[in-house]
Amino acid sequence: MAFATTDIKLYKSAAANDTDANGGAIGTTLITSGAANNLFPNVLNSERTAGLTRYRKAFIRNVNTGGLTLYNGLIWISTQSAAADYFRLKLGTDSDIQSAADDYTAWKGTGQLKTSVSAAATEITVTYDAASGVNDGDTLIISDGANTETATVDGAPSWSGNDATITLSAGLANDYSSSTPTTVATAIELPDLATAQSGWSETSTSGTYDESTYPLTLYNAGTVSDDWTITFTSASAFTVAGAATGSLGAGSIAADFKPANGGSYYFELDKDGWGGTWAVGETITFTTTHAGQGFWVKEVVPAGAAAYSNNTFNLTWQGDAA
């Protein structure tokens, strides 16, 4: 089974503003391709005059309903800004905020091949929009529209102004001409995009749940990152609540517990896993993790940059299914 393009979606973070609290957990707002201001707001004249560095956090999420995991994922800036501003990427976490992100280093950028190279070349010179965006060990996506390949940076690039001379760990597979625009993008390497459950803990001395034989069923499109507590209200009845999500209602050991989340489910707890005798107030706690990954985009507007209407840049992703 393969992924459809609709199986991978981008979401805004819960907070999207210009404060230290910007970012945080995944939000519910989709980032719609081609829509104006779908991640960043317009740059005001006063901001352009004074100069600006602005951060926005996004999440790439696997919502495949067949339970597929996205392996070997990469995401990168595939087109540079046409204006005087420039953009950089950095891997984030499920919960980091701007006060942490503004201290991150080794942000990933995109440039244009400066001089033509032949297949088997192990050195390229790339012009960036600022003297940053590529580092030792980075994965590069090199594309001229007809040919695309990946390469690995071997050693720290040598900079002359905004030009970086980059040594590659292996020779190129294709020829690339500087007269045909060739993009050299530094990609973020993503962890596997899959749901996960961890931290199962029971307080009962006589009640049990066999989570090894009957593990939670998780759902790419519905499972969220949260810490959950099952609390017994009788020998057979319980309530379930998440630290962030809140109450999911009541359940019983006599039936599967499968709380809905939109068109999917948070998780499923199998009735056959219950055993022993549970008492009022006893609990089970566990953590679920969604099938997504947070990342940051940084926009830098140099002071005195010229005005530019309808500016855009593009993000591109790729990955494999087992």
At 219, which helix (H) or strand (E)? none
**Is the per-residue pLDDT at 2 higher than 80?**
no
**Is the per-residue pLDDT at 1 higher than 80?**
no
Number of separate domains in the chain: 2
283 and 316 fall within a common domain: no
**Is the per-residue pLDDT at 322 higher than 80?**
no
134 and 249 fall within a common domain: no
128 and 169 fall within a common domain: yes
Q: How far is CA 245 from CA 66, 125, 203, 259, 321, in A?
A: 24, 49, 22, 12, 30
Instruction: Using pLDDT thresholds of 50, 70 and 90, give the confidence band for residue 181.
Output: very high
- Which tens digit of pLDDT belongs to each residue from 193-230? 999 999 999 999 999 999 999 999 999 999 999 999 99
102 and 210 fall within a common domain: no
- Which tens digit of pLDDT belongs to each residue from 126-179? 999 999 999 999 999 999 999 999 999 999 999 999 999 999 999 999 999 999
- Residue range(s) defining the domain that contains residue 284: 196-289
Contacts of 203 (CB under 8 A, 6+ apart): 282, 283, 284
The SS3 assignment for 138 reads: coil
Look over the chain and give the mean of its residue pLDDT values, rounded to a whole number. Answer: 96
213 and 273 Cβ atoms separated by less than 8 Å: yes
- Which tens digit of pLDDT belongs to each residue from 66-97? 999 999 999 999 999 989 999 999 999 999 99
184 and 201 fall within a common domain: no
270 and 282 fall within a common domain: yes
**Is the per-residue pLDDT at 49 higher than 80?**
yes
Distance CA 66, CA 2 (A): 10
User: What is the full DSSP assignment across 73-106?
Assistant: EEEEEEE--SSS-EEEEEE--SS-BHHHHTT---
28 and 81 fall within a common domain: yes
Q: How far is CA 173 from CA 37, 95, 134, in A?
A: 38, 39, 20
175 and 251 fall within a common domain: no
100 and 51 fall within a common domain: yes
Instruction: Using pLDDT thresholds of 50, 70 and 90, give the confidence band for residue 46.
Output: very high
147 and 213 fall within a common domain: no
- Per-residue confidence (pLDDT) for residue 34, from 0 to 100: 85
106 and 188 Cβ atoms separated by less than 8 Å: no
pTM score, whole prediction: 0.94
- Per-residue confidence (pLDDT) for residue 190, from 0 to 100: 97
| The two three-digit tokens of residue 308, written as one number | 């530019």
Mean pLDDT of 17-39: 94
316 and 266 fall within a common domain: no
55 and 148 fall within a common domain: yes
Distance CA 286, CA 57 (A): 27
